[in-house]
Each structure stands twice: as structure tokens, then as C-alpha cells.
Structure 1
């Protein structure tokens, strides 16, 4: 007598969940606003669902996939398509040019490492990224920064949760919901302003001052410091941690005392 099929889902030992919702796929590509002249990186391309949607925009797409089986499938699928280049590499180590967009649904376990690689480097900001990541991770990034490092990211990039993505949008379904995280660059800072911002955030997250105005005066002068905070929509009497990172960037970019 044949064994009965189990109703329990198969274990997903890889921890990878492939996007299968056409509605979410359309929302992801629409959010990215890809132009035919763009170069786009799909990190963790898997079977190429997102890669194909990106290629249909006319853009040049680089599909990065570590798994040799998926990489072979991608090469077969896009053989002869000049718009798609397949790179067999780890998304946590592959070099992504700053003028290239990143549009991807990435493994939840790699989210922190990938975002750090994209947003940590000083200098000219990246043109943007649209990432499907674990929901809680996205909410933390888009909310009030909890560390000096995340404040550095938020000072130089706008981080916004564009939509919640339910777990049923994936196969196999993860244990938690995901979200579409939209990342766009803020006004670039000079190298000197970036150095000052780093120093400023170290003080803010060092917890040595009770008022934001005290920190601002140290970097921009007694009058100019609080004025720069107010112009950026921050209260000089507030606790430094309550001030949005982009306001600290405004202080860092202001005149020296």
C-alpha cells in the first residue's frame, strides 16, 4: 500500500523564500521607476522572476545568484537576451556600482549585511534601492534609529516602508510578513561635512548631553547651531536622540563656529 502524502509543508533548509505574487512584483518594479537607460542589480535572483520583470523595462539587468543550480537556470532562461547578465556570486560580497539601482527580494538572513554594504560607504550616495526584506527589519530601519550606524544611514538616505508584503506572497511562505523598503539618497554632503556628521553622531549616541542645542552649538556655533536645527524642523531643547538624523546632517553641513 503506498504511503500517504504528508500534509505538512516541506522544510525549507535554505531559508530562501521566492516571490510569487504578481501584484507584489508589479509594485516592486513600479516603486523602482526603472528607465531603459538604467543598470539594475537583482541580488539573489533565484529562478529569475524579478530579473524578467526588470528586463521588460528595457534596462540592463545584472542577476546575481550564489546557488550554482539557479545560476545555470538563469543562464538558460536568459540565453540570447542582451539585456541580462548573470553573475554567479554571493550578494554579500559582489561589487555593486553606486550608479546602479538595486531591486531585489533578498533572503531575510542577509538583510543586515547587504544594507550595511550598500549604505555604509561615505562619499557619493547610491542612486537608490527597492528591497523586499523582513517586515520587522524594514520597520526598524524606517523608524527612529537605535544606533550610531543606523543614524548614519538615515542621515544620508530616505528609508521608507512602501508597503507590507504578506507571507503568502512567497513560496515557501516564511514565518513572518515582509515589506518593500524604499531607499533614496538625500542631498549629498561634502567630505568635510560627512566627517563632521560622523563625529556629531558619536556624541549624540554617546549620551553625554541632554539637549540637542548643546551639541549643535559645539559644531556650528552658539547662534547658528540651534538655528540650523530649527530650520531642519528640530527642537534645540529636545534630547539629541529625538532629533532626526537628517537634521544632524544639516548641522554638520553648516558653517564652522
Structure 2
């Protein structure tokens, strides 16, 4: 089952960037919750934006102050969906500054009030808006925690797993039960840490993802069967012709792309492999074998 997550992103010798996806609330706001029966404080009516507010301050304490977040005094932190700030204030105690992106103006106002007049105020910048529409380059698939950390041969190993793990070191930090949120979501949550590899591998993402798009479309079939599926050979032939034209290579109209693909799969030893069990190294070797024959995926 997909799980909500928060991710950490950092690069060696550069200011770190972290994101916390779980919305947070203050343990000091319990008075707001103690309204009479039938009366709901609008601050905590989260139905408008589908929010689930973290109500357990111990979760925020554990994440921000232990080795989970690995926060340093020089870190610049990006928090997505801070809510009323339960996690935010804990991060502010550890980091240089925090930029919080919150789409609900009511929550942003509560967070502003919370740090007003405090030393943390100068360390906090709040942006009101939808993070998903902000054009940020940070991973947007952060709700699929268990797919991010999945390993080859397991049920959840997928194209997403391979794509993320090619460029990042991914660790599962902790699980956060749904009862720690208000209102309780239908799914359980997890926190994962993603640290981009520095330097990143010299692989074009479009090429690696293009290969993954094909073989993970039928992850339990043999790689040969997947490549023989309708439309795949035709697509690869078109890509091959495009590559030949950009490389000023003569296009032989008698080229049999099906035979060409089968030869790559056979000579590389992956013809009878299944995507569900292929490691990153396997995928990279197969991609390289195709490239040696001028066959590309993007």
C-alpha cells in the first residue's frame, strides 16, 4: 500500500535541502481542539485541501532531533505542508533556516503566529502556494515510500524504485501510524531519507527511464517476451533511425530490428531474465548493450 513520506535531499559540500511531506500541528494548540461538541474550529477543518495534520509531537521530536533527519546548523530546509508547525519548530531548532510551502493560508497564518517574536522567526520563510505546481526539481513521488526503498526480487520493486535508487541513496527512517494524524488518513505513513548521489551517475535519465518503461510494463514476463510485445520493436526502430540520422550514419533499409533486438538480449544474457529480479547493475548493462548497437529509448 502506498505510504505518505517525507524525504531528505542533500549534496556533499553544499547546503542540504530537505523536504517533510507530512503536515504538522502544534502540541500547544490543544485548546483549539477543546471546543464544545458540534463546534469545529475552522483552522482544523482540513477537508478543503485534503490535509492530515500531524498531532503527535513526539514524532516531530524524534525526526528532527535524532539522527533520522541528520540536521546540521548549516542546513537550509524545505518543508512541504508545514500545517501549524509541529515539525517546523523542531527543525528550526536544528537548522540554519526553513522555507515552508503551505497551500492553506489559514495554516500559514497559524505558523506565522507561532514563531512571531521568537528567535526562530528570522529563520523561517513561508510561501503560500501549491508545491506540486511550483516547478520544483525535487522528487514528486514522495508518497510511495515502500516502493522507493524496495529491492530487486520483492513485490514492490518497480520502475520507480530503480529510477530513484539510480540517483539517490534511499533509507526507510520510520513508520508513522495513521492515528498520529488528524483526521486519520486511510493509509499508513512512512518517513524516508533520500540523499542524491554526488556526483550522479553519467546516465541520461530519459534513456534509463525509457528502458524501465518497457521492461517494467510486464515485470513478471521474460525480458524477451516484453520486447516482443506489440509496438515495442516499431518504437525502437524509429529511435534507431533518428539516432542514425543525428550521427550521419547510413540507414540500411534491410535492417531487421526484431533480429537486432533479439541478438542484444541473447548476447547480454538477459533474454530470459525478468524485470522483477533485475538489479540496477543488470539494467545498466542491458542499456549499455543496446546503446552499443545504436538502439536508444528516448
Deviations 1:97-136 (A, max 9, x none): 66xxxxxxxxxxxxxxx724xxxxxxxxxxxxxx7x5xxx
Evaluate the alpha carbon distance shift between residue 205 and residue 175 of structure 1 in structure 2; reply closer, same or farther with a 3 A threshold.
closer
Evaluate the alpha carbon distance shift between residue 5 and residue 194 of structure 1 in structure 2; reply closer, same or farther with a 3 A threshold.
closer
The residue number in structure 2 matching 1:121 is none
Pick from 174, 186, 201 the counterpart of residue 189 of structure 1: 201
The residue number in structure 2 matching 1:209 is 223
Pick from 32, 47, 55 the counterpart of residue 13 of structure 1: 47
The residue number in structure 1 matching 2:264 is 218
Gaps of 5+ in 1: 99-113, 117-130, 227-234
The residue number in structure 2 matching 1:198 is 209
1:147 & 1:88 partners in 2: Cα distance?
34
1:42 lines up with 2:79 in the alignment: yes
Q: Please state how far the C-alpha of 1:37 moved relative to its aligned partner.
A: 1.3
Greater Rg by CA:
2
Q: What is the 5 A alignment of 1:128-167?
A: 137-143=144-150, 144=154, 148-167=159-178
Pick from 99, 103, 107 the counterpart of residue 66 of structure 1: 103
1:36 & 1:142 partners in 2: Cα distance?
28
2:77 & 2:289 partners in 1: Cα distance?
35
* Partner secondary structure for residue 276 of structure 2: helix
Evaluate the alpha carbon distance shift between residue 27 and residue 241 of structure 1 in structure 2; reply closer, same or farther with a 3 A threshold.
same
Give the conservation status (yes or no) of the 8 Å contact 1:21–1:170: yes
Give the conservation status (yes or no) of the 8 Å contact 1:189–1:253: no
RMSD between aligned alpha carbons?
Answer: 3.8
1:115 lines up with 2:140 in the alignment: yes
Number of aligned residues = 205
Deviations 1:167-225 (A, max 9, x none): 222223334422112223246122x543442343244235572499x98x839x94xx5
TM-score of the two chains, using structure 1 as the length reference: 0.62
1:254 & 1:33 partners in 2: Cα distance?
39
Gaps of 5+ in 2: 1-35, 39-43, 227-259, 293-298
2:149 & 2:286 partners in 1: Cα distance?
21
Q: Please state how far the C-alpha of 1:33 moved relative to its aligned partner.
A: 0.7
Evaluate the alpha carbon distance shift between residue 58 and residue 11 of structure 1 in structure 2; reply closer, same or farther with a 3 A threshold.
closer
TM-score of the two chains, using structure 2 as the length reference: 0.55
Deviations 1:119-159 (A, max 9, x none): xxxxxxxxxxxx7x5xxx42233325565455323332344
1:254 & 1:60 partners in 2: Cα distance?
46
